[in-house]
């Protein structure tokens, strides 16, 4: 049996993790001196309430090495192989830490996969790993398939405010001020190295959504995999984007509209939306 593990950056709901039989490792969220386990004792809704009302810029961090060690040891003691699909190494140090723990464990059945993505993109990898596990593949076979599969995952998003990119040190004060005055909405993309890039900008959220749809039309999504629409705290923004995508001929059932939690919400802020799909 192969144990599939992921962290809270994949943005699964608790009932989805139970249905898929996936083990969750919470990332850490800090508001001032108070620490929370993302997705365990801090829900997505609670995170955004604190983000908007506390006046404190949150910090996220990787899980403690002890938590990772305990989960891998548990799998080995149960006679299981293990595949941990982490948040992108371009965003967090979780992958590097987990990799070192696996190497120290010296168990040939334990693996760590850098998703080079997050939220819906990381979710795609986890769901593919579950499919492969359920078809009888070994951990090594799953890892080999995932490392090829992740190159096909495409994620774009439109951010409503530059404030969180600025507070996180990703843009300068000058760019922040000018962008705010001009109502610029940055478009972000997770590149194949797993880093957040800003390939363009739009004058307002409506034009930002139009650009996301143009990006989608310029490629060929694989119909065998779901197209996910993502949002931070405001589902109505995602529903507007989903309607626009449907008008372009793509299916987006309500269950494929997913909320983004603290791991990425900390960096992009409220009222953001995006899409993620697998290229054919």
Mean pLDDT of the chain: 92
Put simply, whether the predicted model's pTM sits higher than 0.85 gets the answer: yes
Better-predicted residue by pLDDT, 146 or 104: 146
Instruction: Say if CB 196 and CB 123 are below 8 A apart.
Output: no
Give residue 176's pLDDT.
65
Distance CA 127, CA 131 (A): 6
In this predicted structure, the answer to whether residue 162 has a pLDDT above a threshold of 80 is no
The pLDDT value given to residue 146: 98
Q: What per-residue string of b and e applies to 232-264 under the rule 16 or more CB within 10 Å gives b? A: bbbbebbbbbbebbeeeebebeeebbbbbbbbb
- Name the band, by pLDDT with cuts 50, 70 and 90, for residue 179: low
Query: In angstroms, what CA-CA distances link 265 with 159, 190, 254?
Result: 10, 14, 21
Reduced to 3 states (helix: H, G, I; strand: E, B; else coil), residue 121 is helix
Q: What's the rounded Cα separation, in Å, for the pair 183 and 202? A: 8
Q: 186: pLDDT confidence band, cut at 50, 70 and 90?
A: confident
The pLDDT of residue 74 is: 95
Asked which of 136, 151, 166 is the last residue of a domain, the reply is 151
Q: Where does a domain end: 88, 118, 151?
A: 151
For residue 257, what is the domain's CATH number?
A: 3.30.1180.10
Rounded Cα distance, 47 and 2, in Å: 32
DSSP 279: B
pLDDT (0 to 100) of residue 144 = 98
Interval 145-167 mean pLDDT: 90
- Domain check: are 143 and 191 in the same one? no
- Domain limit, last residue, from 105, 133, 151: 151
Same structural domain, 237 and 102: no
The answer to whether the beta carbons of residues 116 and 150 sit under 8 Å apart is yes
Same domain as 147, residue 9: yes
- pLDDT for 199 equals 84
Q: What is the number of alpha carbons within 13 Å of residue 88 lying toward its C-beta? A: 23
- Whether residues 7 and 122 share a domain: the answer is yes
Residues 22 and 49 in one domain: yes
pLDDT of residue 52: 92
Q: Are residues 109 and 31 in the same domain?
A: yes
d(CA 270, CA 73): 38
Supply the pLDDT for residue 198: 81
Residues 238 and 268 grouped into a single domain? yes
Is 80 exceeded by the pLDDT of residue 225? Answer: yes
User: Cα(197)–Cα(4) distance, rounded to whole angstroms?
Assistant: 29
Identify whether residues 94 and 118 lie together within a single domain: yes
If pLDDT is split at 50, 70 and 90, which confidence band does 182 have?
Answer: low
Residue 183 pLDDT > 80: no
Residues 226-275: tens digit of each pLDDT? 999 999 999 999 999 999 999 999 999 999 999 999 999 998 899 999 99
Query: Count of CB atoms within 10 A of residue 141's CB?
Result: 14
Instruction: Residue 89: give its domain's CATH number.
Output: 3.40.50.10170
Would you say residue 148 has pLDDT above 60? Answer: yes
Residue 95 is predicted with a pLDDT of 97
Residues 49 and 115 in one domain: yes
**pLDDT score recorded for residue 88:** 95
pLDDT of residue 127 exceeding 70, the answer is yes
Report pLDDT for 195. Answer: 86
Which residue range forms the structural domain that includes residue 212?
A: 153-278
Residues ≥6 apart with Cβ < 8 Å to 31: 50, 54, 56, 58
Token pair of 93, please?
């140090």
pLDDT band, residue 175 (cuts 50/70/90)? low
| Cβ atoms of 12 and 126 closer than 8 Å | yes
């Amino acid at each position: 049996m192969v144990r599939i593990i992921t962290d809270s950056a994949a943005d699964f709901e608790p009932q989805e993790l139970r249905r898929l039989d996936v083990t969750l490792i919470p990332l850490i969220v800090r508001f001032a001196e108070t620490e929370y386990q993302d997705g365990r004792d801090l829900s997505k809704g609670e995170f955004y309430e604190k983000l908007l009302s506390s006046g404190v810029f949150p910090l996220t961090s990787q899980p403690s090495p002890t938590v990772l060690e305990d989960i891998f040891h548990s799998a080995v003691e149960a006679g299981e192989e293990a595949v941990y699909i982490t948040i992108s190494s371009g965003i967090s140090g979780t992958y590097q830490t987990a990799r070192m723990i696996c190497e120290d464990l010296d168990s040939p059945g334990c693996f760590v996969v850098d998703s080079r993505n997050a939220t819906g993109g990381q979710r795609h990898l986890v769901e593919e790993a579950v499919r492969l596990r359920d078809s009888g593949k070994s951990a090594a076979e799953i890892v080999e398939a995932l490392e090829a599969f992740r190159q096909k995952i495409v994620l774009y998003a439109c951010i409503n405010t530059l404030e969180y990119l600025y507070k996180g040190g990703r843009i300068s004060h000058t760019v922040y001020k000018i962008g705010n005055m001009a109502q610029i909405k940055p478009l972000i993309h997770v590149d194949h190295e797993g880093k957040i890039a800003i390939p363009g900008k739009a004058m307002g959220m409506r034009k930002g959504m139009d650009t996301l749809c143009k990006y989608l039309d310029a490629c060929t999504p694989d119909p065998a995999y779901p197209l996910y629409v993502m949002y931070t705290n405001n589902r109505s923004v995602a529903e507007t984007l989903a309607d626009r995508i449907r008008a372009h001929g793509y299916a987006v059932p309500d269950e494929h509209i997913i909320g983004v939690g603290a791991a990425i919400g900390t960096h992009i802020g409220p009222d953001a939306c995006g899409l993620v799909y697998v290229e054919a």
